Amino acid sequence: QRQYWSNTCENTGYSGKIYKIIRAIYNRSHHPIENANFRKISNALISDPNTQANLFASHYEQNPIPFDLSSNEENYYNKPFSVDEFEYVLQKTPNTSPGRDGITANFIKNLPIGFKSTLLSIYNEIWSTGEIPSEWHIAKILPILKPGKDSKNIQ
């Protein structure tokens, strides 16, 4: 087996093919549990996914997981974003298609520092109040069909 694997790695032209082989081997031995059954309090087995989802929802609605994001300024996650953090995130932001407003990441990256400071102030205000502008909840989604696929058969 070792010799076979060694030969396979040597004769494979690129690492992507090796990755596909490893993934195929891994997936053979690590199947997700598709038909998991849950026991209700009455010990009845529940296998219907919708019923399972409803059981989870009602359980965690009655027993929420404690998660305290207090507004204490001492917590690092409550501090306003710094100019350096903003610049770092801008550098890491890919130049993808613009949103509904037509503003690209590249446009924001090239703003003068005064405009960036104003934008950072707006982001920090949103972060501290938790109030996201309603316009930001609206998306423009453009489906891109794969070549040769029927546009009426969406799966």
Q: Is residue 54 part of a domain?
A: no
Asked whether residue 25 is domain-assigned, the answer is yes
Residue 87 lies in a domain: yes
Nearest to 136 by CA among 146, 115, 122: 122
DSSP string, 45-108: EE--HHHHHHHHHHHHHHSPPP------TTSGGGSPPPHHHHHHHHHHS------TT---HHHH
Any domain includes 61: no
Range of the domain at 15: 1-31
Q: Give a yes or no: residue 70 inside a domain.
A: no
pLDDT digits (tens, 9 = 90+) for 44-95: 777 777 887 888 788 888 888 776 656 666 777 778 999 999 999 999 999 8
Residue 13 counted as domain residue? yes
- Beta partners for residue 38, in sequence order: 46
Question: Is residue 119 included in any domain, yes or no?
Answer: yes
pLDDT digits 0-9 by tens, 120-144: 999 999 988 889 998 888 887 777 7
pLDDT digits (tens, 9 = 90+) for 10-55: 766 666 677 777 777 666 555 554 555 565 656 677 777 788 788 8
105: Cα within 13 Å, side-chain hemisphere: 12
Q: What's the pTM?
A: 0.49
Q: How many CA atoms lie within 13 A of 132 on its CB side?
A: 4
Number of domains forming the structure of the chain: 2
Cβ neighbourhood burial of 10 (10 Å; 0-12, 13-18, 19+): exposed
pLDDT at 107: 95
Instruction: Note whether residue 26 is domain-resident.
Output: yes
